[in-house]
Amino acid sequence: MTPESFESLVAEIGFSPVPEKFRALIKNVALCVEEDVSQETRHDMELPSDETLLGLYRGIPLSARGDHYGGGTLPDTITIYQTPIERAAREDGISVRQVIEETIWHEVAHHFGLDENEVRKREDERS
């Protein structure tokens, strides 16, 4: 898949994987696409080279935003990584679209303040 078609697919999907009642609560969050996880990000997150990262939420979770949040605050970002997502889709025998949707749902859960263990528990409940 070309980078352009992947980016278009991410834009088309947007926040649609998130239940409608929660979509309206997503504020000041940008979806970004990168080819792969940078070495700098791996270093900052202390990720081993063999660990796969499909997406990454960076920002101030809703649960941590106080009265001083807002104004000139830059948007939170959810970065979707093309190469690992395409690889995961091939390995799992599912569509790239499905992996993107699952990744967006996962990262939005972090935006709502869930830690990794809580997100994985909710994913298990969804399955």
At 37-65, the pLDDT tens digits run 999 999 999 998 889 999 999 988 877 77
User: For 104-113, how does the pLDDT look when each residue is reduced to its tens digit (9 = 90+)?
Assistant: 999 999 988 8
- pLDDT tens-digit map of 10-45: 999 999 999 999 999 898 899 999 999 999 999 999
What pLDDT is attached to residue 62?
A: 75
Which pLDDT does position 123 carry in this prediction? 77
In CATH, the architecture of 3-58+74-126 is: 2-Layer Sandwich (3.30)
- How far apart CA 34 and CA 79 sit, in angstroms, is 7
Which of residues 65 and 100 earns the better pLDDT score? 100
Q: In terms of pLDDT, which residue wins out, 41 or 122?
A: 41
Dist. CA 28–CA 74, nearest whole Å: 8
Q: Which two tokens stand for residue 116?
A: 């990794």
Per DSSP, 52 falls in state: -
- Cα separation, 60 vs 76, in Å, equals 7
